[in-house]
Structure 1
C-alpha cells in the first residue's frame, strides 16, 4: 500500500478533456406499485429486455420515477475524478450557452469549465446491474472543430492546450466530427510542447461503420509515436473491437482477454489498450506487456451512469508517475468502486481507503 499512498498523496498534473457535455435525466422503472408512496423498482436490465421482447408484438406501458438530474459525458465524468484528487482539469465542452447549467454547478469548484454551448440531453433508465441511455445528440453531433476554434479563438486555445500532461477526447460514436476535433487537438501541438499521453473512450463502436472506425484508428495511430495513445473500452466494446480488427474472440476472463488485447493493440497501433468491467480490468502496453486487476463487484450500488468514465478518470490520474500497469488498473478500479457506491469521486484519503479494501492490489 505504501506505493499507492505515496503516489496518490503527491500526484499533480494538468489535464484537458473535451469536448462533449450532457445533462442526464435519470429514472428507474416501476415493476410493482404497492400504494401511493411505495413501489418496487425493476432491478435488472435483463428483466427489462425480456419484458420488451415478450411484448414485441404489442405495446409496453411503464411507469418511471425520476431519480436525479445531473451531469453526463466523457469530459465531465472523467474530469470529476481527477479534479477531486487535486489535479488541474480544464474541460472545454457543452455546459451551457449563456451560463453554466445547474447540473454542472459543483464542477466549478474543482474543474475549469470552458463552455462552447448548451449540453445534449440523455435519458437514463438505471437498474441495479446496468443502464439504458437514450440521447438527443444534436448539440454534440453537430459540434465541429471550427465551432470550437471560432468560440475560443487561437490565442485562447493555445493557452488552454499549453502545459497539458494528459489530453483526453471521448465519445467518438456520438460525435460526427470526431476526426476533425482530434485533428484540431493535434494541430495545437505544432507550436507548443505535446502532452505526455492522450486518452480516448470511443463509447459504442457499433454505432459507426467499419470504414469510419478504421479511418479514425489510422488517424490517431499516425500520431502515436509523438504522443502515446491510450484507448479505453468496456466489456462489450472490446469484443466488438476484436471482431472489427480480426482478433479471435477469447473467453470473457482477464487471463484470456489479456493476450487477445495485445494482438488488437498491435493491429491498431496504439501505445495502450485498457478494458474495464464490473469484475476486472485488463491492460496491454507496448512497453510493459499485459496486466489485469480483479475488481470486487460492488453490492451497494447507488449510481452506475458514469462508472466507466470514473474508471477512466482514475486511470489517467494514475498515469502521471512511475506506477506499473497493474497499479494503474488498481487505482482505476478503486475510483470506480467508490463512485458507484457514493455517486461522486473519492478524495485522496477515500481512494486510498478503497484500495486498502480491495482483494487484488
Structure 2
C-alpha cells in the first residue's frame, strides 16, 4: 500500500470525509509497511490542511517489530511523528522491547536495560523517551505493567498489570491493550483510568482467548488488586 494507490483507489475527498468524521486516526504495524512514513508525509501535505478540529482528534500509532527496519528508518519515522504533532495530538504506543530499541538510538536518552531489577529502567523510561520526542502521549506496555507519559512532563503514570505466568493466549494481546486504551480515552476516561481499562482487557484476553464484554471488564476491574497480588490464570 502506498500513497499513489490510496489516491487511485480511494481519493483525497473520501479520505478527508472519513477523517473529518472520526475521533481518532490509527495506524498499526509501521515496521511492516515501508511506505507508511511517506503516507504520513502526504497526509500532512494534502489532507490535514482540509480537516477541521484536528487538535480535538488523536493520531494513534503502533510500530510493530522495529528490528525489521534500520536505524535511519526509525529515526526518520520519529521525526515525522514530531511534525505530525504540530497538526494533531499523537499517541505513540510501544511495547517494552520497542521502547528499549528506541532508547538505544536516541541521542539524549539513557538506554533502557530491560533486565534491570523490578523493571526500574521502565519506571521513568517513557518520560525520558518522550522528553526528546515531545509527543502528546507516549505509552509503554508489557505483560507486567503499562506507563503513559504526556507532553512537557505534565503527566506520567505507571499501572501494574494483572499478570499471569500461565497465559492461554499471547498473540494479539498487544492489539487488545491498544484497543482498550483508545476506547477508554475516547470515552473520556483519564490517562491512568484508560491504562487500567487497557490492562484489564488484555488480562482477560490472555486468560480466555476472547475479547471481553463490558460486564466482564467491570468484573475484572473490581478484582484488579486480587489479580495483582496473586498470579491467577483463571477468569472469571
Output the TM-score relative to the length of structure 1: 0.56
Name 2:143's counterpart in structure 1.
Answer: 278
* CA distance, structure 1, for counterparts of residue 179 and residue 188 of structure 2: 17
Name 1:305's counterpart in structure 2.
Answer: 171
| Residue 180 of structure 1: how far off its partner (Å) | 1.7
Change (3 A) 1:355 1:288: farther
* CA distance, structure 1, for counterparts of residue 188 and residue 118 of structure 2: 27
Name 1:163's counterpart in structure 2.
Answer: 21
Higher helix proportion: 2
SS in 2 for 1:232: strand
Q: Which one of 145, 152, 161 corresponds to residue 3 of structure 2?
A: 145
Would you say the 8 A contact 1:311–1:333 is kept in 2?
A: yes
Would you say the 8 A contact 1:273–1:283 is kept in 2?
A: yes
What is the 5 A alignment of 1:90-101?
none
1:4-38 deviation per Cα after TM superposition (whole angstroms, max 9, x unaligned): xxxxxxxxxxxxxxxxxxxxxxxxxxxxxxxxxxx
Change (3 A) 1:252 1:179: farther
Q: Which one of 197, 201, 205 corresponds to residue 66 of structure 2?
A: 205
Name 1:69's counterpart in structure 2.
Answer: none
SS in 1 for 2:186: coil
* CA distance, structure 2, for counterparts of residue 276 and residue 343 of structure 1: 19
What is the 5 A alignment of 1:11-26?
none
Name 2:51's counterpart in structure 1.
Answer: 192
* CA distance, structure 2, for counterparts of residue 341 and residue 321 of structure 1: 25
* CA distance, structure 2, for counterparts of residue 228 and residue 252 of structure 1: 33
Q: Which one of 82, 86, 90 corresponds to residue 221 of structure 1?
A: 82
* CA distance, structure 2, for counterparts of residue 289 and residue 157 of structure 1: 33
Q: Is 2:192 the counterpart of 1:333?
A: no
Would you say the 8 A contact 1:254–1:282 is kept in 2?
A: no
* CA distance, structure 2, for counterparts of residue 206 and residue 217 of structure 1: 15
Q: Which one of 100, 124, 130 corresponds to residue 259 of structure 1?
A: 124
What is the 5 A alignment of 1:99-110?
none
Q: Which one of 182, 190, 197 corresponds to residue 316 of structure 1?
A: 182
Unaligned runs of 5+ in 1: 1-142
Name 2:234's counterpart in structure 1.
Answer: none
| Residue 323 of structure 1: how far off its partner (Å) | 2.8
SS in 2 for 1:297: coil
Change (3 A) 1:192 1:341: same
1:217-276 deviation per Cα after TM superposition (whole angstroms, max 9, x unaligned): 111101213311111111111111110114222536455423232121021231211111
SS in 1 for 2:27: strand
| Residue 305 of structure 1: how far off its partner (Å) | 0.9
Q: Is 2:207 the counterpart of 1:346?
A: no
| Residue 301 of structure 1: how far off its partner (Å) | 2.8
Structure whose alpha-carbon radius of gyration is higher: 1
* CA distance, structure 2, for counterparts of residue 224 and residue 252 of structure 1: 34
Output the TM-score relative to the length of structure 2: 0.84
What is the 5 A alignment of 1:23-172?
143-172=1-30
Change (3 A) 1:323 1:174: same
Change (3 A) 1:252 1:163: farther
SS in 2 for 1:168: strand
- Tell me: higher relative CO, structure 1 or 2? Use CA pairs within 8 A at least 6 residues apart: 1
Would you say the 8 A contact 1:281–1:293 is kept in 2?
A: yes
Unaligned runs of 5+ in 2: 229-236
Name 1:269's counterpart in structure 2.
Answer: 134
* CA distance, structure 2, for counterparts of residue 253 and residue 324 of structure 1: 26
Would you say the 8 A contact 1:258–1:290 is kept in 2?
A: no
